[in-house]
């Protein structure tokens, strides 16, 4: 089994942490995590890919082991996080790679693809939205209200998303047997989100999330014209990004593979082997 290396790189003056494994000359896959976690979410997937692929999994700024400058010193937007990710990949000399995106990783990945479409060999989206389809109203209504009108009337609803109860819900909701999900997952995330000043970082990204939606028509055009291979592997019981978000990729991506699995938002915690099987099969077909 290939060893996982734990590294950092300085990008635009910020230390970005990343996990790396696999042969340096193998096809590259970049794993982009969601909220509220980090590359920790890929800790068990990476070894299952590293025999055949060069795997890179960074922590976004403000998450995991990467730097987390205060929101008063860094403008936390998805544009900014994508630029840092792009800078990291440039430093590592990666000019061709597949993307695996989940949750926040999706809008970051879409920006990478739109900026340098020639670099993207394939896209895997695991509960990572790219369409208006899939937004579950009961979850998103408060965030849209906060983004449109930040203030004391709308902030409490989104602050609640940083609580232990809410983060645990993200992990276990929709999982047929919640006992298979380790408490280490949400305890790890809560500890990092609870660091002094991290709440303001998360609030800034909550406010900015609405700015991802205007990118969707550009993404759809890219999917149609590039014919980039797409795999959507999705927890069908996710009440953040519902299964309609997975099916929507088939509207624009040629021969998109869509698999709905009886799980929730963090599918790797309950269905690791199933996801890895679909992923290895897909990458083997499209990357050779």
Instruction: Please indicate whether residue 265 is annotated as part of the active site.
Output: yes
Q: Which residue from 81, 40, 31 is spatially nearest to 202, judged by alpha carbons?
A: 81
The answer to whether the peptide bond before residue 46 is cis (omega within 30 degrees of 0) is no
Burial readout 251-263 (b: 16 or more C-beta within 10 A, e: otherwise): ebbeebbbbebeb
List 7's β-bridge partners, or say none.
Answer: 18
DSSP structural state of residue 241 = B
Q: Counting Cβ atoms within 10 Å, is residue 249 exposed (0-12), middle (13-18) or buried (19+)? A: buried
Determine the 3-state secondary structure of 216 from DSSP. helix
**Residue from 33, 54, 65, 265 carrying the catalytic annotation:** 265
User: Which regions of 25-166 does DSSP assign to beta strands (E)?
Assistant: 28-32, 54-58, 97-101, 120-125
What element of type H or E holds 259? strand 257-261
Catalytic residue positions, numbered: 265
């Amino acid at each position: 089994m290939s060893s996982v290396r734990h590294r950092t790189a300085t990008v635009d003056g910020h230390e970005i942490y990343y996990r790396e494994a696999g042969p340096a000359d193998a096809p590259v896959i970049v794993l982009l995590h969601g909220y509220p976690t980090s590359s920790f979410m890929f800790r068990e997937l990476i070894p299952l890919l590293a025999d055949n692929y060069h795997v890179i999994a960074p922590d976004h700024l403000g998450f995991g082991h990467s730097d987390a400058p205060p929101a008063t010193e860094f403008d936390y937007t998805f544009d900014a996080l994508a630029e840092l990710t792009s800078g990291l990949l440039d430093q590592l000399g990666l000019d061709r790679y597949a993307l695996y995106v989940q949750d926040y990783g999706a809008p970051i990945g879409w920006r990478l693809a739109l900026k340098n479409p020639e670099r993207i060999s394939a896209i895997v989206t695991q509960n990572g939205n790219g369409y208006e389809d899939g937004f579950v109203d009961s979850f998103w209504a408060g965030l849209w209200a906060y983004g449109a009108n930040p203030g004391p009337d709308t902030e409490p609803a989104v602050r609640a998303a940083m609580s232990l109860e809410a983060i645990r819900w993200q992990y276990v909701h929709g999982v047929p047997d919640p006992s298979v999900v380790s408490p280490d997952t949400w305890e790890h995330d809560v500890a990092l989100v609870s660091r002094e000043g991290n709440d303001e970082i998360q609030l800034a990204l909550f406010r900015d999330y609405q700015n991802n939606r205007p990118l969707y028509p550009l993404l759809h055009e890219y999917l149609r014209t590039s014919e980039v291979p797409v795999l959507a592997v999705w927890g069908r019981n996710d009440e953040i990004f519902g299964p309609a978000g997975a099916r929507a990729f088939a509207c624009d991506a040629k021969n998109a593979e869509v698999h709905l699995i009886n799980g929730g938002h963090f599918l790797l915690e309950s269905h690791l082997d199933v996801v890895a099987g679909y992923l290895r099969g897909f990458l083997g077909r499209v990357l050779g």
